[in-house]
Structure 1
Amino acid sequence: MSGVIVSVDRNSGMVATVKMGDQITVIDESGVETGADTGPTPMDYIMSALGSCTVITLHMYAQRKNWPLERAEVTLQQRTLSNTESALAAGDKRTLISKTLQLTGDLTPEQISRLKDISSRCPIQKTLEAGMVIQTTLI
């Protein structure tokens, strides 16, 4: 199991320091009053994980098939669905993430169609769609 350590101290406002292995970065909840706009938001990181997993999965698949995929780009947008759109009870919220793919290369229509299908099979998308169990322990 890989570990990520995230911390916020009293003087940092809403800026969290994130340590992932030897990498250190920040997450900033800039939409709130004490955010400093010094880094991406938590949702930016979720969408970045989904987008990077999608394009990497596409390239891995295309390389295995020896297909001429030169570039894969995905644009992601997120919004909260209304209760009528999501068929949830009043007060419940559901998030919709829209992915728009742009594939560059001398690909056949069949290859493009298959890559579109493969784009939804990246591990991050599968995890997000399945939901997660999160266990909290206080030490």
Structure 2
Amino acid sequence: MARVELTAQRGKIEARIGEDTVLFKSSGAESEVGHWPTEYILAALGSCFSGTVFSYARTKGLPLEKVMVALEGEVVSGPSRIASITMEVEFLGNLTRAEKEQLLAVGERACTVMNTLKRGVETIVTRLRD
């Protein structure tokens, strides 16, 4: 189970993730500190993908040294959302082209965030606290 607590006040949005506090921007809350929530979606995708690939490489004994990922998301309105994401990946290490393609396929198949974004969330429940 993943859990985040968030507090939003005019000019400041804070999310508590474990022991860390993360700051977000929002035009609606007039907040200019931190990053846009869409940037965190891209960061979550890249970090999940990279971690998945490293785990697989370790299990298979592949000499993966570094993963470099650049992500861009196209934000559109009607409804407001990220409509498309482009992810460029570079694997560093003494790897063959076939091993790099294998790592890419594993990352695409096993990354939790990528699976969530591609397939959508089945249920989102919102309710008021008393």
TM-score (norm 2): 0.86
Residue aligning to 1:124: 113
2: CA distance, partners of 1:94 / 1:16: 21
Once the two structures are TM-superposed, the CA of residue 73 in structure 1 deviates from its matched residue by: 1.1
2: CA distance, partners of 1:58 / 1:97: 19
Give secondary structure in 2 for the equivalent of 1:120: helix
Larger Rg belongs to: 1
Once the two structures are TM-superposed, the CA of residue 80 in structure 1 deviates from its matched residue by: 4.1
Count of residue correspondences: 126
Once the two structures are TM-superposed, the CA of residue 2 in structure 1 deviates from its matched residue by: 2.8
1: CA distance, partners of 2:16 / 2:6: 6
After superposition, the Cα gap between the structure-2 partners of 1:45 and 1:81, relative to the gap in structure 1 and judged at 3 Å, is closer
Residues 1:6 and 2:6 aligned together:
yes
Residue aligning to 2:127: 137
* Identity level (%): 29
Q: Contact 2:38–2:82 (CA<8 Å) still a contact in 1? A: no
Q: Runs (4+) of structure 1 moved beyond 2 Å?
A: 31-35, 91-94
TM-score (norm 1): 0.81
For 2:88, give the aligned amino acid. Answer: T
2: CA distance, partners of 1:2 / 1:20: 9
2: CA distance, partners of 1:127 / 1:33: 27
Structure 2: runs of 5 or more not aligned: none
After superposition, the Cα gap between the structure-2 partners of 1:8 and 1:79, relative to the gap in structure 1 and judged at 3 Å, is same
Residue aligning to 1:100: 88
Which aligned pairs between 1:1-139 and structure 2 lie closer than 5 A?
1-9=1-9, 12-13=10-11, 15-29=12-26, 34-36=30-32, 38-80=33-75, 91=78, 95-121=83-109, 122-132=111-121, 133-139=123-129
Structure 1: runs of 5 or more not aligned: 83-90
Q: Contact 2:24–2:31 (CA<8 Å) still a contact in 1? A: no
